Structure 1
Amino acid sequence: MQIDLIHFTPWASLAGGALIGLSAGLLILLGARIAGIAGIIGGLVQGAADRQWRYLFVLGILLSPLVWQLFAPLPALQMVSNPLGLVIAGLLVGIGTRYANGCTSGHGICGLSRFSVRSLAAVLSFMSAGFATVFVIKHVL
């Protein structure tokens, strides 16, 4: 295995991970809410009574690339699939989040940090499925 040193960004990745952890921690400490994106957006779609913080959270996600541009250029956007593949992938992720009662952020960041066994099972399941999918697409097909 070789590391692509041209695209290797450990400091930017560390900063991004720290900011995600900080925002998830602040949300649970200050608002007693889990930073699971599927649940946050699901609450907006279903018309939850506590929509204000959900709108602000999604707005923060959408505005974060603009803030990042103040410090460093954004990486080039690369489309690695055709539109049909993206639609199918999006539908499969949506179905998976419904079956798992949460998404990668809810289970992987918030659930694992709370030592949730259910989140551990979900993370192991979707990471295994992701590894298998990449292997099949890159090495079998």
Structure 2
Amino acid sequence: MEFILQPWPWYVSGPIIAIIMFLLLYFGKTFGMSSNLRTLCAIGGAGKHAEFFKFDWKSQRWNLVVVLGAILGGFIAHYFLSNPIDMDLSEATVKDLNELGFNNVGQSLLPPELFSWDAVFSLKGILILVIGGFLVGFGTRYAGGCTSGHAITGLSSLQLPSLIAVVGFFLGGLIMIHLIFPILF
């Protein structure tokens, strides 16, 4: 039971991802979460209002298993595979997070200052969700895919646009956490 409560090491999870990507490439399929949103919108009839959603969504039904797997995997990971011990963070990280207004740093992966219902339904929380959702949606459409699609499928098939997109994702993340996040909190 001790093994189950530990994160999978890279030498287990990495080859599993590689095998899955090989099979997807072999069968001519691509992986990415944003394509699932497009498929769900097309199923819901969005093709009547936007040309982007007019496509043969039935050929993408197999990819909806990814959505189900993400939901089911998150549930299993949270309720059955989580190790409830405190995280061992550096004192500098704890100090920085305390200065940003986070209490009980290291006791939860999802700090209540960001992920509680009170935080979500505050004016700041709603603005972050709306503006962040718009930026993620725009960025995903503009980049031709999401982080998982570019970083996993695109890089594994050696696509230069995916390499550029992944570098952009990392740069954007660094800018967010070091420049924008301290201003918001």
Larger radius of gyration: 2
Q: Measure, in 2, the Cα distance between the counterparts of 1:13 and 1:96.
A: 31
Letter in 2 for 1:77: L
Of residues 92, 103, 110, the one that matches 1:77 is: 110
1:23-47 deviation line (CA, Å, top 9, x unaligned)? 7526515642111110122122123
Equivalent in 37, 49, 52 of residue 58 of structure 2:
49
Structure 2 distance, partners of 1:43, 1:139, is: 36
Instruction: Report the CA distance shift for 1:132/1:78 in structure 2 as closer, same or farther (over 3 A).
Output: same
Aligned residue pairs, count: 133
Q: Percent identity?
A: 32
Matched position secondary structure for 1:49: helix
Give, in whole Å, the separation in 2 of the partners of 1:134 and 1:44: 31
**2:21, 2:156 within 8 Å by CA — same for their partners in 1?**
no
Q: 2:32 aligns with which of 9, 29, 36?
A: 36
**What is the TM-score normalised by the length of structure 1?**
0.73
TM-score (norm 2): 0.58
Matched residue, 1:122: 165
Aligned residues of 1:35 and 1:105 also touching (Cα < 8 A): yes
Residue by residue over 1:8-59, the C-alpha shift from the partner in whole angstroms, topping out at 9 and shown as x without a partner, is xx83574895387257526515642111110122122123122431332211
- Match for residue 103 of structure 1 among 146, 157, 175: 146
- Do 1:38 and 1:102's aligned partners in 2 also have CA atoms closer than 8 Å? yes
In structure 2, list runs of 5 or more residues that go unmatched: 1-5, 44-56, 85-107, 120-124
CA RMSD of aligned residues (A): 3.2
> Hey, what's the Cα distance between the residues in 1 that align with 2:170 and 2:109?
26
